[in-house]
Amino acid sequence: LPYNKPIPGGLSVGMSVYIQGVAGEHMKRFSVNFVAGPHAGADIALHFNPRFDGWDKVVFNSQQGGKWGSEEKKRSMPFRKGAAFELVFMVLAEHYKVVVNGNPFYQFGHRLPLQMVTHLQVDGDLELQSINFIGGNPPPGQTLPLCPQKPMGTPAYPPVPFRKNLQGGLTARRTIIIKGSIPPMGKSFVINFMVGSSGDLALHINPRLTEGLVVRNSYLNGSWGSEDKKISYNPFGPGQFFDLSIRCGLDRFKVYANGQHLFDFSHRLLAFQNVDVLEIKGDITLSYVQTHTQKPTVEGSSRSPMSFHPSHNVPHKTSLPEGIRVGTVMRIRGVIPEKAGRFYVNLLCSEAPGSEAALHFNPRLDESAVVFNTLEQGTWGREERGSGIPFQHGQPFDVLLIATEEGFKAVVGDSEYHHFRYRIPPARVRLLEVGGDLQL
């Protein structure tokens, strides 16, 4: 703190900003500002300001042209000193809806156009744990966690050009995670897997935005090889965000973008273990890079970028005695075993056997599908299926299930995946159940 970072793609209707933190033991106040620029004195579209001052309250306001507007106050304090909290700002057409710890708290009408808001600022007496922007721009709802839990001190927002030594060299089953965004006027950037002593490139990835290409190549003994250009889709565009997973196998690199397979690149440098440098440069803003060595947790898999370690037996059950309210966020992280068939997440209406299910979330790797459904009075409803399957054998996953006003929003990795409208009121949910072929 202070945190002052751009909002990916700017603010738009349908976006949610999800903040996790811990209020200070001696907290007096903290603030969250939606700001029209990074500089001091910029207009503030929403100033959210909890104050412990003897008249515990939360103040809402805006600032235009250096002048504060009229304060709106709610004389209720949803935060407790020293306690963890979840804070969600839902951006709706007419107002911001603020939800604290799953409870709707306040609605603040728009005073400045959403299009003006470019940055989020957080400061004050709190420990900031994570910030996620979910939904909104860019379509179809790709999102980028802007304050990920960072493994082993990996810095968020590393500078570009970026160059980092790969300790131990590039070994089979090592996975590199790169998250970032492309400036609106971006033209090209490169990712190089390099042998530091010779300058050889085992893999050169070069998205060329002006040509609509993602070029792959090698540079060995002073000569470029033949270019690979074929891809099924292009995840790189001006102003867009991406999440790359680059996995080194015994005979090839496998590259995934936003949870979908992008391309394979067969090894041309057979001694790929000599690769010891990762280089990133060009028109790119990095938010997160993971390069450290991972120990497999199941055969053929690596830990997730969130420092995954098995922590729950499967099947796993968590009681939800107060039900689910709008703004509640449930997070499930784990690893898919190499030979997994399917797994499930159920939101059940009771802890009794055969309970009704307000949500049955069922990734089926054996069918390459993700099924959403409900169970009412012993009968399954009409299935809904998401577009594609964002889960891979031997790969970590990170799922958010978010209770919105209309339904459950499923976010997989950093991308909004599916919105399942309520058929059973979420307030009836009493149990979260996770089971099947996965490691939690």
What is residue 143's predicted lDDT score, i.e. its pLDDT? Answer: 37
How many CB atoms sit inside 10 A of residue 322's CB? 12
Give the Cα separation of 306 and 309 in Å (integer): 9
CATH number of 3-135: 2.60.120.200
Would you call the peptide bond into 113 cis, given omega within 30 degrees of 0 as the criterion?
no
Give the Cα separation of 153 and 137 in Å (integer): 29
Inter-residue contact 241 to 139 (CB < 8 Å):
no
Q: What pLDDT tens digit does each residue of the chain (440 aa) get?
A: 788 888 877 787 777 888 888 888 888 889 999 998 877 888 999 999 998 877 788 999 999 888 899 989 888 888 888 887 888 888 887 889 888 876 778 899 998 888 788 889 999 888 887 787 776 543 333 333 333 333 333 444 578 899 999 888 888 778 788 877 788 788 999 999 999 999 999 999 999 999 999 999 999 999 999 999 988 788 888 877 777 888 888 888 988 886 677 899 999 998 899 999 999 999 988 877 876 443 332 222 222 333 333 446 778 888 888 788 777 778 888 888 888 899 999 999 998 888 999 999 999 988 888 999 999 989 999 999 887 788 888 888 888 888 887 889 888 865 678 889 999 999 899 999 999 998 88
* Tokens encoding 149: 């839990």
Residue 213: burial class (beta carbons within 10 Å; 0-12, 13-18, 19+): middle
Whether this prediction's pTM lies above 0.75 is answered by no
Domain layout of the chain by residue ranges: 3-135, 162-293, 316-436
Inter-residue contact 151 to 260 (CB < 8 Å):
no
Answer CATH for 162-293 from 3.40.50.720, 3.90.1150.10, 2.60.120.200, 3.30.450.20 = 2.60.120.200
Residue type, 80: R
Q: How far is CA 317 from the centre of its chain?
A: 24
Would you call the peptide bond into 140 cis, given omega within 30 degrees of 0 as the criterion?
yes
Long-range contacts, stretch 71-74, CB < 8 angstroms, 24+ apart: 72/106, 72/108, 74/105, 74/106
pLDDT of 102-153, one tens digit each? 677 889 999 888 878 888 999 988 888 778 777 654 333 333 333 333 333 3
What is residue 141's predicted lDDT score, i.e. its pLDDT? Answer: 35
Residues 100, 102, 108, CA angle at the centre, nearest 5°? 45
Class assignment of domain 316-436?
Answer: mainly beta
pLDDT of 147-199, one tens digit each? 333 333 344 457 889 999 988 888 877 878 887 778 878 899 999 999 999 99
What is residue 31's predicted lDDT score, i.e. its pLDDT? Answer: 92
* Tokens encoding 20: 């996790």
Same fold, 3-135 and 316-436: yes
Q: How far is CA 49 from the centre of its chain?
A: 26
Give the Cα separation of 336 and 326 in Å (integer): 29
Residue 350, CB-side half-sphere exposure with 13 Å CA sphere:
7
Would you call the peptide bond into 78 cis, given omega within 30 degrees of 0 as the criterion?
no
Residue type, 339: K
Inter-residue contact 120 to 33 (CB < 8 Å):
yes
What is residue 144's predicted lDDT score, i.e. its pLDDT? Answer: 36
